[in-house]
Chains A and B, each alone.
Chain A
Amino acid sequence: MSLVAALRTGRAVHTTSATLASSAGVIVHSRGYAAAVKPAKKVSSKFKANSGREDKEKQGPRDAGAYHPMPVNSLSDPVFQTENITSLQLPTFRPEAITPSAVAKPMAFPQGESKALKAYGLPRNILVDHLLLTKPCSVIRESTVDLLDQLDKASGSSSKDTRVVLTGKTGCGKSYLLLQAVQYSIQKEWISLYIPRAINLVNSSSSYAYDARTQTYGQPAFAQQLLKRFVDVNEAHVRSLATQAAYTFDDGREFSSGAQVMDLINLGLENQNQAPTVLTALLDELAKQTTYPVLLAIDDFQALYCMSQYRDPFFKSIKAYHLTFPRTLLEFASGKKSFARGAVLGALSTQNTTFRVPLELVESLGLVPSVPTNPYVRREAELLEYAKGLKNFPVPERLSIDEAASLFDLWHQTKALHIPRGDEIFLAKYTESGGNAREFVKKGILQTVTV
């Protein structure tokens, strides 16, 4: 027994010599603490090598069941049935249909043979709406009926008598109303000239060139494009018109009175440099003729009264009325020039704060100024002249319940909304938006999170 073992067990140590000697009779000289080393016990290893197992199945990449693509047969929800997509079914916007009984009904603008809306373009917010709704449409309001009645009355008289500006709170529907008026005039066989984004005239986004004859800056590219659009919409009417005055141009071309207006326009379409002059001449011709009433419709009307973003060679800002086409528009708007038959319609816009409604226009239309003013604030004499005689057509700031319900229904027909279709949620969104059309659609229907 070793010393350590003996110490553990507490037994007396017998020296190996004594034990060996006593058993074998051999004297072994060794010390008590030096015990023989016991060989280690052989224990079988529990280690299993991998190499032994070939038949272990190999797992693919980690399988999260949620990301398995579904087999096509299980896609039974109507959303996936692309062949069953139905477009909006709406009555068509027609002059005969615009009656007081049609108020609060949605109507689609006609597409196809009349390229009017596509030709002239649209204000950006309306374009976005139409893209989302998949069809150009709008809701007929009471003010629609009123405005179109006014247009009907204006069809016989000079445009000097009917120079109307649509005003109202931001988002109340002025641009839509103007669009409806343009559509109406096109369908009623008027000659229409619609400028959906007048800010593009003054925000220095198109080229400009000084014309010494008129002492104004013309915008050739814009004029040429506008002539093209005008022709797209009004070709049928314009083909029957003949000039009533003679025109000469810088490149030597002359048009005597009695020439075709269409040829005049073609000159502008071919020759961009002559386009501003052609445009002015065209408008003068339209002013003289009495065959067709003319509607001049301008959205972002206030931009014509602001300082443009163009610069003259001395880097001074150019006033809007020193640009040829805006000046022409202002002359028609102020009554200095007028169409023998027709009207001028403008719509203010609040979206671009670089071009806010100036004080002269505010006072002419009888609006409430946004900042306090007094008689000592400078008012430009030219702008006062250009703002004379404008009539204010206030657009109601609230949609009526029926109109709002119609709008709500219209958006739900797209089947693309995340909110349910119910009267409680409709009333809640109507209350939250206070009846304002843009707030109702944008924040109430599209941007809302709580249902």
Chain B
Amino acid sequence: MNIAKKAAGGALRFRAYATAAYVPPASMENVQRGRLPPPKPKPESPTFYTGRATYYDQLLALENASKQTRSALQQLQLLPLSRFAQQNLPPLHPVWKSQVDLAELMEAKLTTSRYRRFVSQLNQLNQYRRLAEVAGHLALAERLQRVLDMFERENKEAILARGKAKPTKFDEFGRTYTVGRRKESTARVWVIRTQLSPEEQAAASSSTTPAEPPQVQTSESPAPPPAQTVEDPIVHSAPAVGIPGFESGPLSIGPTQVKVHTTNILINNIPFTDYFPNVADRERIVRPFRVAGLIGAFNVFALVRGGGSTGQSGALTLGIAKGIAAHAPEVEPLLRKGFTSLKL
């Protein structure tokens, strides 16, 4: 066939002027010759012809990065990793953009299989980043992190913090606001530290010898008349002094000079003994203070509604325990343990 065509072509060239129709030159003047098409701009990247340029660009970039990182890590002898090391790496918590968000980034629709492929590349790179970070190559890890940050969600912290307990906030007066629930009742509890007087604050912070005790004794001693001291030794026992060997600290001041603070609890603006006449309810509410060993350290104001006395007292207990734990975090394990066996 080709031979025949060649032969025919040759024949045509020979006979074109004889067999072709005669066209006078003048009528050829207005004939528009086919212009060359405008020169097409060369696409930036060869992926243009895929129809999803951005996607493939990104993907290939990730794959390149992945390859380079892998070779770097192999040079650093971090890959392949022993099984023990692999099992003991810290866990990864990536929060990649969703399919819709990535599609927006790629300016094209993203099918699920393409999305999955992309995410698997991201995960691979994330693993290399973790390896670099754990091994101490922070510069490399940081470069990889910058790459990966482009594809992580903005609210990553918020998503990762879901389900975890939020730390209780303190307001400008040093009060915590916590909520407790039990059965049908809800309690909103504000817990604040009891105020120390300035002397107590000074005594608590410093450990200088207090000058007051001797003066207090001399003021007390002339009060009882002399006739009594013979008869009633119980009333006029020795005035309270500190233990002789101690010059400073809590044992240097007599017990009567120590001010004992008490915990006051107001519920719906009513003193809690009026609100809960039942002994069991009262004991339930005071229990968090006893378990923590902090009776007298805090005052409580609470609003409670719903349910009956048991539910309300249980809700208050929980709210108070949360408040105490916020003020004194060292006590939180005690409170958690102290309430496992007790049926509130």
Contact among B223, B274, B293 with A99 in the assembled complex (CB-CB below 8 Å): B223
- Within the complex, the shortest CB–CB distance from B228 to chain A, in Å, comes to 7
Contact among A427, A449, A450 with B295 in the assembled complex (CB-CB below 8 Å): A427
Question: Contacts A89-B234, A401-B260 known; A448 to B273 CB distance under 8 Å?
Answer: no
Q: Mark A410-451, 1 if CB is under 8 A from B, else 0.
A: 000000000000001001101111111001000100011110
Question: Contacts A89-B234, A99-B223, A434-B271 known; A427 to B228 CB distance under 8 Å?
Answer: no
A427 to B261 Cα, complex, angstroms: 9
Question: Contacts A99-B224, A101-B223, A102-B235 known; A431 to B289 CB distance under 8 Å?
Answer: yes
Residues of chain B contacted by A433 (CB below 8 angstroms):
273, 282
Contact among B220, B227, B273, B295 with A428 in the assembled complex (CB-CB below 8 Å): B295
Question: Contacts A96-B225, A99-B224, A443-B279 known; A432 to B273 CB distance under 8 Å?
Answer: yes
* Contact between B286 and A91, CB atoms less than 8 A apart: no
* Contact between B228 and A97, CB atoms less than 8 A apart: yes
Question: Contacts A99-B224, A105-B235 known; A427 to B260 CB distance under 8 Å?
Answer: yes
- Within the complex, the shortest CB–CB distance from B192 to chain A, in Å, comes to 16
Query: Nearest chain-A residue to B263 (Cβ)?
Result: A431
Asked if B290 CB lies within 8 Å of chain A CBs, one says: yes
A432 to B296 Cα, complex, angstroms: 12
- Within the complex, the shortest CB–CB distance from A451 to chain B, in Å, comes to 10
Query: Nearest chain-B residue to A107 (Cβ)?
Result: B235
Give chain B interface residues in 197-246, CB to chain A under 8 Å. 220, 223-225, 227-228, 232, 234-235
* Contact between A91 and B235, CB atoms less than 8 A apart: yes
- Within the complex, the shortest CB–CB distance from A403 to chain B, in Å, comes to 12
A436 to B279 Cα, complex, angstroms: 13
Question: Contacts A431-B262, A433-B273, A448-B279 known; A90 to B224 CB distance under 8 Å?
Answer: no
- Within the complex, the shortest CB–CB distance from B285 to chain A, in Å, comes to 8
Question: Contacts A439-B273, A443-B279 known; A432 to B286 CB distance under 8 Å?
Answer: yes
Give chain A interface residues in 74-92, CB to chain B under 8 Å. 89-92
Asked if A258 CB lies within 8 Å of chain B CBs, one says: no
Residues of chain A contacted by B263 (CB below 8 angstroms):
431
Q: Mark A86-127, 1 if CB is under 8 A from B, else 0.
A: 000111100011011110010000000000000000000000
* Contact between B279 and A424, CB atoms less than 8 A apart: no
Residues of chain B contacted by A402 (CB below 8 angstroms):
256
What number of A residues sit within 8 Å (CB to CB) of B? 29
Residues of chain A contacted by B287 (CB below 8 angstroms):
450
- Within the complex, the shortest CB–CB distance from A406 to chain B, in Å, comes to 12
Asked if B56 CB lies within 8 Å of chain A CBs, one says: no
* Contact between B283 and A450, CB atoms less than 8 A apart: yes
Asked if B96 CB lies within 8 Å of chain A CBs, one says: no
Of residues B227, B256, B272, B283, which shows the largest number of chain A Cβ atoms within 10 Å of its Cβ?
A: B283
A89 to B233 Cα, complex, angstroms: 11
- Within the complex, the shortest CB–CB distance from B52 to chain A, in Å, comes to 71
Give chain B interface residues in 254-290, CB to chain A under 8 Å. 256, 260, 262-263, 265, 271-274, 279-280, 282-283, 286-287, 289-290
* Contact between B290 and A428, CB atoms less than 8 A apart: yes
Size bracket, chain B contacts = 20 to 34
Query: Nearest chain-B residue to A169 (Cβ)?
Result: B274
* Contact between B234 and A91, CB atoms less than 8 A apart: yes
Residues of chain A contacted by B293 (CB below 8 angstroms):
424
Of residues A92, A105, A401, A431, which shows the largest number of chain B Cβ atoms within 10 Å of its Cβ?
A: A431
* Contact between A428 and B289, CB atoms less than 8 A apart: yes
- Within the complex, the shortest CB–CB distance from B24 to chain A, in Å, comes to 123
A105 to B227 Cα, complex, angstroms: 18
- Within the complex, the shortest CB–CB distance from B212 to chain A, in Å, comes to 18
Query: Nearest chain-A residue to B272 (Cβ)?
Result: A434
Query: Nearest chain-A residue to B221 (Cβ)?
Result: A101
A434 to B299 Cα, complex, angstroms: 13
Query: Nearest chain-B residue to A92 (Cβ)?
Result: B232
- Within the complex, the shortest CB–CB distance from A399 to chain B, in Å, comes to 11
Residues of chain A contacted by B227 (CB below 8 angstroms):
96
A443 to B278 Cα, complex, angstroms: 9
Query: Nearest chain-B residue to A427 (Cβ)?
Result: B295
Question: Contacts A427-B296, A428-B286, A432-B286 known; A97 to B235 CB distance under 8 Å?
Answer: yes
Give chain B interface residues in 327-344, CB to chain A under 8 Å. none
A433 to B280 Cα, complex, angstroms: 12
Query: Nearest chain-B residue to A425 (Cβ)?
Result: B290
Residues of chain B contacted by A91 (CB below 8 angstroms):
232, 234-235
Residues of chain A contacted by B286 (CB below 8 angstroms):
428, 431-432
Question: Contacts A99-B223, A424-B293 known; A432 to B282 CB distance under 8 Å?
Answer: yes
Residues of chain A contacted by B274 (CB below 8 angstroms):
434
Query: Nearest chain-B residue to A433 (Cβ)?
Result: B273
- Within the complex, the shortest CB–CB distance from A337 to chain B, in Å, comes to 38
Residues of chain B contacted by A439 (CB below 8 angstroms):
273
Query: Nearest chain-A residue to B235 (Cβ)?
Result: A91
Residues of chain B contacted by A97 (CB below 8 angstroms):
228, 232, 235
Query: Nearest chain-A residue to B220 (Cβ)?
Result: A101
* Contact between B234 and A436, CB atoms less than 8 A apart: no
A89 to B235 Cα, complex, angstroms: 11
A332 to B263 Cα, complex, angstroms: 44
Of residues A101, A105, A401, which shows the largest number of chain B Cβ atoms within 10 Å of its Cβ?
A: A101
Query: Nearest chain-A residue to B287 (Cβ)?
Result: A450
Q: Mark B131-155, 1 if CB is under 8 A from A, else 0.
A: 0000000000000000000000000
A427 to B220 Cα, complex, angstroms: 27
A432 to B265 Cα, complex, angstroms: 10
A439 to B275 Cα, complex, angstroms: 13
Residues of chain B contacted by A424 (CB below 8 angstroms):
290, 293, 295
Residues of chain B contacted by A105 (CB below 8 angstroms):
235
Give chain A interface residues in 246-270, CB to chain B under 8 Å. none
Residues of chain A contacted by B283 (CB below 8 angstroms):
432, 448-450
Question: Contacts A101-B220, A450-B283 known; A431 to B234 CB distance under 8 Å?
Answer: no
Residues of chain B contacted by A90 (CB below 8 angstroms):
234
A436 to B277 Cα, complex, angstroms: 12
Residue contacts A-B, CB under 8 angstroms, 16 given: A90-B234, A96-B225, A97-B228, A101-B220, A401-B262, A402-B256, A427-B260, A427-B262, A428-B286, A428-B295, A431-B262, A432-B282, A439-B273, A447-B279, A448-B279, A449-B280
Q: Which 10 A-B pairs have the closest CB atoms?
A: A434-B273, A432-B282, A91-B232, A101-B223, A427-B295, A91-B235, A401-B260, A443-B279, A450-B283, A431-B263
Question: Can you add 11 more A-B contacts, CB < 8 Å, to A431-B263, A435-B262, A450-B287?
Answer: A96-B227, A97-B232, A100-B223, A424-B290, A428-B286, A428-B289, A431-B295, A432-B282, A434-B272, A434-B274, A450-B283
